[in-house]
């Protein structure tokens, strides 16, 4: 769960209104966590994408790829 002021701090940093020092100060003030500070300054860590809105995406282990049809035995040519 994001801190209440995460989006505000990220917006300020992304638009150039705040520099790295100000974002780090937001951690000291308790506005965001250190992890969120790292996300803002260095990007989302691999394997932890933004959460998808409910009802979208796929449950783990399932995919939309089509299953391979079962192979039928080849008929031998008649002589």
pLDDT of residue 44: 74
How confident is the model at residue 38, as a pLDDT?
Answer: 97
- Confidence label for 72 from pLDDT (cuts 50, 70 and 90): low
Residue 12 reports pLDDT greater than 80: yes
User: What pLDDT score does 54 carry?
Assistant: 55
Per-residue pLDDT reduced to its tens digit, 13-69:
999 999 999 999 999 999 999 999 999 999 976 655 455 455 555 555 555 555 555
Stated as kind and residue range, the H or E segment containing 75 is none
Whether residue 26 contacts residue 40, with contact meaning beta carbons closer than 8 Å, is answered with: no
């Amino acid at each position: 769960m994001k801190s209440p002021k995460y989006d505000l701090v990220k917006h300020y940093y992304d638009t150039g209104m705040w520099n790295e020092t100000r974002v780090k100060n937001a951690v000291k003030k308790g506005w965001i966590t250190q992890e969120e500070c790292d996300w803002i300054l260095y990007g989302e860590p691999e394997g932890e994408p933004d959460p998808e809105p409910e009802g979208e995406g796929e449950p783990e282990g399932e995919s939309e790829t089509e299953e391979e049809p079962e192979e039928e035995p080849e008929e031998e040519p008649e002589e």
